[in-house]
Amino acid sequence: DTAVSQTPKYLVTQMGNDKSIKCEQNLGHDTMYWYKQDSKKFLKIMFSYNNKELIINETVPNRFSPKSPDKAHLNLHINSLELGDSAVYFCASSQTSGGTDTQYFGPGTRLTVL
């Protein structure tokens, strides 16, 4: 059984388009995250939700909008895609938002903007 799943795994699109990435976890965790990993392999936190509520919102363009319909799902919608958005996006979850819990990562979505 996949603990944290993301779709799609690969996404190739044109500049200016709008796209969504979906994430689901079946671990019963309360907290979910979105990370961006660029070509230099640096993992940067974008958002964190705890029980459907936003708790971390780093300096991310407002073209990025997370949505959490329930605590098992955290989707990421991106408007007006730009070349610099090309990266791998990882979803993760942890038992609580306390920070000391292990985070479990999804397989990643490789986004390429042309």
Q: Where along the sequence are the contacts to another protein (CB under 8 A)?
A: 4, 40-45, 56, 90, 97-100, 102-108
Distance CA 100, CA 114 (A): 38
The distance of closest approach from Cβ of residue 40 to another protein in the complex, given in angstroms and rounded to an integer, is 7
The distance of closest approach from Cβ of residue 68 to another protein in the complex, given in angstroms and rounded to an integer, is 19
Q: Closest CB to another protein among 8 and 98?
A: 98
Phi-psi region of 108 (alpha: psi -120 to 50; beta: other; left: phi over 0): left
Q: CA torsion, points 7, 8, 9, 11, in degrees to nearest 10?
A: -150
Sign, Cα dihedral of 84, 60, 41, 81: negative
Q: Closest CB to another protein among 4 and 81?
A: 4
The distance of closest approach from Cβ of residue 56 to another protein in the complex, given in angstroms and rounded to an integer, is 7
Q: Closest CB to another protein among 45 and 72?
A: 45
